[in-house]
């Protein structure tokens, strides 16, 4: 997306942030220019930044799995998922079962993934997430590749490969079938 902006003659500033760090000063960011801010670790900090707030497309009531599953009913990979308190998810896994578990919110409280009870407990011990936190519990699904689509006003404005075989990947192309599915899905909600 950054390359496309540059090719169209737009000045861009790509700022990488680490979790928990403040937003760095961006001295050559001109006033009155369009901004695009992205990322669950970045957005909460940018909400309180006077210059970056205008570049946010974020509403915590709609940027969560429970809203996605309602708006995109039938199109969600984890369509059998349900939202429960984290403490209930841990109880479900005590039988030795494995499940896909992630925060309901668009956050990085912990990374969504397939967990058994002990693996989920270890992750949560490190992150100190409350047992009352709403989480999604769904059947595990093997995923070869993930793509991210950026949508504005129901139109795809950018896309890229995000993960392949469970690892971060930005080198792969996005299949046309995935683009078409994303466009159809964007028009639903």
What pTM, to 2 d.p., does this model score? 0.73
Low-confidence ranges of the chain (pLDDT < 50): none
Q: Are 40 and 65 in contact (CB under 8 A)?
A: no
Domains in the chain, start-ordered, CATH in brackets? 1-58 (no CATH), 77-138 (3.30.1490.20), 145-188 (no CATH)
Q: What is the pLDDT of residues 35-78, one digit of tens each?
A: 666 666 666 667 777 767 666 666 778 888 999 899 888 888 88
Instruction: Tell me the H-state helices in 51-142.
Output: 65-71, 86-93, 117-127
For residue 34, what pLDDT is reported? Answer: 63
Q: What is the pLDDT of residues 49-60, one digit of tens each?
A: 776 766 666 677
3-state secondary structure of 16: coil
Sort residue 50 into left (φ over 0), alpha (ψ -120 to 50) or beta. Answer: alpha
Residue 33 has what pLDDT? 66
Confidence at residue 110, expressed as pLDDT on a 0 to 100 scale: 86
Rounded Cα distance between 61 and 176, Å, is 31
* SS3 assignment, position 67: helix
pLDDT recorded at residue 100: 95
């Amino acid at each position: 997306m950054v390359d496309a902006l540059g090719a169209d003659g737009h000045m861009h500033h790509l700022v990488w942030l680490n979790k928990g760090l403040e937003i760095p000063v961006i001295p050559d960011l001109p006033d009155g220019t369009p901004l695009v801010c992205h990322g669950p670790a970045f957005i909460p900090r940018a909400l309180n930044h006077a210059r970056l707030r205008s570049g946010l497309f974020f509403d915590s009531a709609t940027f969560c799995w429970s809203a996605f599953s309602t708006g995109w009913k039938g199109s969600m990979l984890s369509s059998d998922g349900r939202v429960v308190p984290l403490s209930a998810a841990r109880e479900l896994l005590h039988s030795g079962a494995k499940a896909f578990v992630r925060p309901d919110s668009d956050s990085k409280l912990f990374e969504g993934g397939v967990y058994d009870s002990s693996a989920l407990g270890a992750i949560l011990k490190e992150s100190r997430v409350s047992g009352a936190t709403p989480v999604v519990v769904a059947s595990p699904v093997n995923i070869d590749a993930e793509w991210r689509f950026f949508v504005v006003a129901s139109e795809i404005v950018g896309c890229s490969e995000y993960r392949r075989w469970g690892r971060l990947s930005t080198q792969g192309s996005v299949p046309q079938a995935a683009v078409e599915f994303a466009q159809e899905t964007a028009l639903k909600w």
